[in-house]
Structure 1
C-alpha cells in the first residue's frame, strides 16, 4: 500500500477551481512554509473568470520555482504547438473540442505550449498514463495531480473536465482528494475502474528538487 498525508482544500463556489485546489494541496506538502491563497493560485495558473484552467502556465511556473515536473498524456503537445487548434479538433471528440473552444483560450494555450516544449525541467511523456506508472512515482517521492473526465466515474454522458490529487493506493482501490463538487476527502474508486479513466486522462507528477516527498509504502 502507498499512503500520502495531504491536507484537503475544496473547490470554490464557482465550481471552476478544482485544479487550483489540487495544486494548493500539492504545494502544502512540497512547499509547506508558504501559504498560497486562491487569488495567488489564480495568478499562478492563469485562471480567468468563467473559464476552465489549463495547466500549462502552472507547469512553467513550477519549473521556474524549484520543482521537477512530468506530464503524461496521449495528447501530443508538440503537435499542438506546431498545428494549433487544428490538431485539437482532430484529437478530441467533437463535444470536447466545442467545450474547450468555448471555455478556454486555445490561442493563448498554444503560445504557452510553445514555451513548454522548450523547458528543460518539464518532461512531456506522450503515452497513456498507467496505474503502474503512478504507483512507481508515488513510491519514489512524487505527488500526482490527475486531470480526468469525471463523468467517467459518475457514469454520466456529459463531458466534465476535473482535477484530483492522489492520496493512497492499495491492492483493491485508489484514493484521492476530490475538490468537488461535491467535495470528498479520500474518495475511493476500484483499481480497474480508476485505471480505465486514468488511461484517457492526464497525469501531472511533481517533485521538489531538494526534498522529495516520501510516501508511506507498506
Structure 2
C-alpha cells in the first residue's frame, strides 16, 4: 500500500467542521510550521453556525498559500457563480436540493464561487471523479480529499456529505483520516466499500479535490 504521513485533526463536538478539519490536515501537511485555527478557517469559508460549507473558500485559501489544486466534480462553478440557485435546481434532484438547501448558505457559496473561478492555481475538471483518479493523483503525490456518504460505511440507507483525507491506497483497500464524528485517523476499509461510499447516492454527485505544492 502506498501511504502518506498526514497530520490528523478531528471534527468539532457539534459535528459541523468535517470540511474545515480536512482543510487543516492538508494545510499542516504542506505548511507544518504554520498554524491554522478553526476560527481562521471559518472566516475564509464564510461558515455559519450549524451549517455545512462547500470547498470553494478552502481551495481559494490553499491557493493563497502557494498550493496547487485539482478539483474534480460535475458541478460547474462558473455556471453556479452566474446563475446561483437556478443552476442547482436544474442540476440536482428535488430531494438532494432540499437536503443541501437546509444545510448550506447558497449565497455565500455563490460569492466564493465567483472568486474561485478567477483563481489560476485551481484547475477544474467538470466531470464525476472515479477511482482511477484516486489512484493516479495519489500516485503522483497529491493529497486527496474525497466527499463520501459515511452511512454507506455502516450499511445504513441514508445520506450525508462528509469529507475525508486519503492517506493510503492499494488494490484492495483505501485508508483515510475520518475527522468524524467519531474521529478515526487512518481508517482502512475495502476498496469496494470506499467506492460505494464515494459514489452514493449517485455517481454524478461524487467529488474530490487534490492538492500539491
Task: Give the TM-score normalised by structure 1.
Answer: 0.88
Q: Which residue of 2 aligns with 1:16?
A: 16
Q: Which residue of 2 aligns with 1:177?
A: 177
Query: How far apart in 2 are the matches of 1:34 and 1:123?
Result: 25
Q: Cα distance, 1:129 vs. partner?
A: 1.0
Matches within 5 A, 1:79-94: 79-94=79-94
Q: Cα distance, 1:96 vs. partner?
A: 2.2
Q: Does 6-15 or 88-97 show the bigger shift?
A: 88-97
Q: Cα distance, 1:192 vs. partner?
A: 2.2
Query: How far apart in 1 are the matches of 2:151 and 2:96?
Result: 12
Aligned-partner SS, 1:43: helix
Q: Cα distance, 1:10 vs. partner?
A: 0.9
Q: Which residue of 2 aligns with 1:216?
A: none
Any runs of at least 4 consecutive aligned residues in structure 1 with deviations exceeding 3 A, and if so which? none
Q: Does 161-170 or 131-140 show the bigger shift?
A: 131-140
Q: Cα distance, 1:32 vs. partner?
A: 0.4
Question: Which runs of 5 or more structure 1 residues have no equivalent in the other structure?
Answer: 209-218
1:202 aligns with 2:207: yes
Aligned length: 208
- Contact 2:69/2:211 (8 A) holds in 1: yes
- Contact 1:96/1:159 (8 A) holds in 2: no
Aligned-partner SS, 2:123: strand
Deviations 1:39-73 (A, max 9, x none): 22222322211111111111112112201111100
Aligned-partner SS, 1:99: helix
Task: Give the TM-score normalised by structure 2.
Answer: 0.90
- Contact 1:95/1:159 (8 A) holds in 2: no
Matches within 5 A, 1:136-151: 136-151=136-151
Q: Which residue of 1 aligns with 2:134?
A: 134
Deviations 1:113-168 (A, max 9, x none): 12222221111111121222112212222101112222233332332111100010
- Contact 1:165/1:178 (8 A) holds in 2: yes
- Contact 1:146/1:165 (8 A) holds in 2: yes
1:160 aligns with 2:165: no
Q: Does 188-197 or 68-77 show the bigger shift?
A: 188-197
The two structures, once aligned, show a CA RMSD in angstroms of 1.6
Question: Which runs of 5 or more structure 2 residues have no equivalent in the other structure?
Answer: none
Q: Cα distance, 1:185 vs. partner?
A: 1.7
